[in-house]
Structure 1
Amino acid sequence: MAAEGDIVSAEVEAAPGRQRQAAAALACLGLKVLHIGTTISVSAPRDVWERVFGLPQPAVPAELSGDVVAVHRVEPPDFHAL
């Protein structure tokens, strides 16, 4: 099992009316689909994320370009900040 720091989370913006198709494509690429709504919440181990989107700035790969408009990484909260 991956450590918490090894999991990357994101909100994915699907093309209008393409949420279900985008979610299916993301799952086929190895991402865990957590919720489908206005955006699609996903998570994946860092190695899967790097293979699909790249790091540090994610880019929509060609195979998702018809279904996905943008990817926004979700940073974990910093509970030690003042």
Structure 2
Amino acid sequence: MAADGDVLSAEVEAAPGRQHQAAAALTRLGFKVLHIGTTTSVSAPREVWERVFGLPQVEVPGELSELVVAVHLTEPPDFHPL
């Protein structure tokens, strides 16, 4: 799970042709939409994730079930000293 403080990021897979509707719904729920493409990049405070999708098991709630197919939380980069 990617975390910058208590902000988590993810790639959201929308139902075919529903990317912009999914992004609008996620914005209304408190997510920041970073990019809309094949997947939609979003971020939000941990509290928003817990309220909407639950953590640690992410489940798409009924209100998003027609718009969102899957949610893939991103991992933080693993930096190694040179």
Tell me the TM-score normalized by structure 1: 0.90
- Alignment gaps of 5+ in structure 2: none
- Alignment gaps of 5+ in structure 1: none
Aligned residues between the structures: 80
Tell me the TM-score normalized by structure 2: 0.90
Runs of 4+ in 1 over 4 A off after TM superposition: none
The residue number in structure 2 matching 1:39 is: 39
* Secondary structure class of the residue paired with 1:22: helix
Cα deviations by residue, 1:20-64 (Å, 9 ceiling, x for unpaired): 000000000000000000000000001111111111121111100
Shift of 1:4: 1.9
* Secondary structure class of the residue paired with 1:54: coil
The residue number in structure 1 matching 2:4 is: 4
The residue number in structure 1 matching 2:28 is: 28
CA distance in 2, matches of 1:51, 1:62: 13
CA distance in 1, matches of 2:61, 2:80: 35
Cα 1:55/1:80, change in 2 over 3 Å: farther
The residue number in structure 2 matching 1:71 is: 71
The alignment's C-alpha RMSD in Å is: 1.8
The residue number in structure 1 matching 2:17 is: 17
